[in-house]
Amino acid sequence: MYLIIVGAGDIGTPLIDIATAAGNEVVVIERDEARADFIASEYDCLVLNADATNIDTFEEAGAGKADAIISTAEHDATNVMTSLLAEEFEIPHVLSVMHNTDHRELFRRIGVQTMENPEDLIADHLYRAVERPAIRDFLRIGEDAEVFEITVTEDAELAGMSIGEAAEQSRIPEDVLFVAIDREGCDRPITPGGNTVLQAGDLVTVYSGFGADPELTDLFGHFEDHL
């Protein structure tokens, strides 16, 4: 893949590391000379110490043959401008970091896939780890829904019960689905069905339309979420 990465800061640098390690042909555009020099000395990629909002820079970067561009600049204005230039060069996949959610509609209008400020996402994740210690990992979907991982404890109400039985007894709320089960001794995750019996120690991936509510985590034996 021919990939252009705009910005070599806290977000761009790890991205460059991943992209080059995967064997992609990477071009980095970084305005700061010190950052550009560092990337050029550390990674096998072409580095342009230039302004990413300049069309000449895009031409030098080979934008006409790029498969994708990811803009990680520190200011949304720069990310918007680079995204618009990417559209001019008909780059198939355009992604950008979005620092201010007030700009979501602007990015949407120009057809750019965005990722919200990673620092905010990390802060939210860390707070959630304290607020809901039972949750191993989670992903928000919209305002309320979540996909999360949770372990079945020895004292769990659902331990030893099949998913079908739990559903028949209305133990599982209607807006909840069990997506996968990671069980010790199994080579691959289990795709759960009605006859699947939940066992203590199972790591269950759960979709909940109302999020990881304590009443839901209680079913897995995690009463500490009430603290």
Count CA within 13 A, CB hemisphere, residue 198.
29
What is 2-115's CATH number? 3.40.50.720
In the predicted structure, residue 104 carries a pLDDT above the cut 90: no
Tell me the mean pLDDT in the region 25-52. Answer: 96
Q: What is the pLDDT of residue 48?
A: 98
Portions of the chain given CATH number 3.30.70.1450: 132-226
- CA pair distance 170, 156, nearest whole angstrom: 16
In the predicted structure, residue 178 carries a pLDDT above the cut 90: yes
**For the chain, how many helices (H) and strands (E)?**
8, 10
| Residue 154: band (very low, low, confident or very high) from pLDDT cuts 50, 70, 90 | very high
The model's pLDDT over 1-30, given as tens digits with 9 standing for 90+, comes to 999 999 999 889 999 999 999 999 999 999
Rg of the chain (C-alpha set)? 23
Instruction: Report the 3 state secondary structure along 203-218.
Output: EEEEEECCCCCHHHHH
pTM exceeding the 0.85 threshold for the entire prediction: no
Tell me the mean pLDDT in the region 94-118. Answer: 77
Portions of the chain given CATH number 3.40.50.720: 2-115
Residue with tokens 């289990």: 190
Tell me the mean pLDDT in the region 148-162. Answer: 93
- CA pair distance 156, 159, nearest whole angstrom: 5
Q: What is the pLDDT of residue 118?
A: 65
In the predicted structure, residue 224 carries a pLDDT above the cut 70: no
Q: Which helix (H) or strand (E) is 122 found in, with range? A: helix 118-131
The CATH number of domain 132-226, selected from 3.40.50.720, 3.30.160.270, 3.40.50.300, 3.30.70.1450: 3.30.70.1450
Q: What is the pLDDT of residue 17?
A: 95
Q: What region does 140 belong to: left with phi over 0, alpha with psi -120 to 50, or beta? A: beta
- CA pair distance 178, 158, nearest whole angstrom: 12
| DSSP designation for 202 | -
